[in-house]
Structure 1
Amino acid sequence: MMKYKISYEGLGGVIDFSKAPFIYADHNLFDYEFSYDSTNMPSQNKTILNQIYSLGKVKTISLQVIGTKKAEILNDLETKLNYDIEAKQPGKLYVNDEYINCYLVASSKKEWNQYAAMEYITLSLFCESPKWITEKTYDFSIYEKNSIDGGFHFPLSFPVSFKYSWKNMDILNNHYAPVKCKLYFYGPIKDPKVRIGENLYAMNGELLDSERYIIDQNDKTIVKITAAGEIVNCFDERDKSSSIFLPIQIGENKVDYDGTFSFSICLYTERNEPRWI
């Protein structure tokens, strides 16, 4: 068994690079480098760092192609990878449970021989943001007043019998930096709001039954999905007395809301390299 499960997921489906017909042989997925601006200070015999930032990078992964039907294998690979190219949307390259958004930009072959049982192919993948992302979702349902302990019921994240104490409700960010999130408010509800930590996340609008708001901090968009599936821009319905795009802060963040509607929150933890195991 491979120590790290590496796979690609896109519109064309999932491609597992950890088992035949593709086995990863080499890659630079754990490498990273920051860009920076600096100012020389000759009079002080030093250079001052002004800013440090990350730019888009190209990741490479070399694969062993195993099998006798190599033409069929490679044709299938090309088809699956190019769905995303044609749609101009990134696929996700996974290392275990972490992923990086990327586009295929090159494919090269080595020691190619149609009669050999094993050959090599190297994929080059451009990443607009060189961050590896882990997602964690919390689901909060409508307050069940008749539950055993006067708490909440979490049908998606926990076993059915689990009751979460109203007083102990919190969201944990154990990362070294604040993390962006995606919030989902589910109707029916008017003017939904929830306080997470010290910040209020609120909308000034109404959701009917089977409608939902999606507040995405990654691209700073707010939309409503109607029962018919229509997507409505609701950016101007955000509550402007607080910052709905403020990331979730480090540590335990107490959740405070009235329990009259359901909501979910997905945290996006970003690292410069996948976790080592």
Structure 2
Amino acid sequence: MQKDCKYWLLKKEHKIPDLKELTVCVNIKRKISNSQWTVFTYLHPDKTRIELGMKGSGPNLHIIMFGRVWTKSSVVSLENWHSVCMTWSKSMTEPKVYVNGSNVDIKAESRETALYPDSVATGGTLTLAVAHNFSNGEMNIETGRELKGSLSLFRVWKRERSAEEISGLTCTDGDVLHWEEQIWDNDMHCKPIRDSTQQCDWCYYEVKLVFIIFREDGNKTSTQDAREVAHQWLTHVMGEVHLWETYIYLHKVMVQPLGGLHTPSSRNAEVRQ
């Protein structure tokens, strides 16, 4: 908690896209007990419901999707860091929730059987540590329901992440929203504070590269050829690099054409120590 710090608001230029599957992870520490608290709220663009959210009541955790609520009782204690992740795809009947790397059972607060939308809507508004609503076009903060404590490592991915990824890759950054100060509105008087108690286990590193392949014969480079070029080059480079006397080797290379260009390909290279 900081003086004059109320919440973090996602800048408009960093809006959440349309998502047919997703994962959201965040670390939280409750320092003062209050009956209602909020981790984040992503409001639907038509302002009628919470599209995605994470709240709590005392030690109980509430997960919100498409206006529906699921609860896990007695899971968020005071004065302790908790890593909480929710993951979902359109084929699932309810989100999966992980607390400190372990999958937990959640209970729906109603027996509503209405079908989910196919995706999370783009263009909504996102706040950290508070819930919000709109009145006459103006955003209002729901006072008395803020998180009284600390929040860190809020990240969003555009895919469902496996249990192994969630439990083992605790600090991997999101591919939709990163934990970076520049994507948040700095007018809220909330500056990040360094916390040495936050521990990260970097079993894997995700490296994103973009490069261009030109063929002398003028033909386009296939995705498979680009993958082989990227794999050979990265294997050579990583074979010559060592960190703290531990050699790094290439684990997997994924290649996708970069939109808008004819010849380049962009890669996500996942590297393991």
Would you say same fold, with TM above 0.5? Answer: no
Asked which structure has the greater RCO (Cα within 8 Å, sep 6+), the reply is 2
Point out the structure with the larger strand share.
Answer: 1
Greater gyration radius: 1
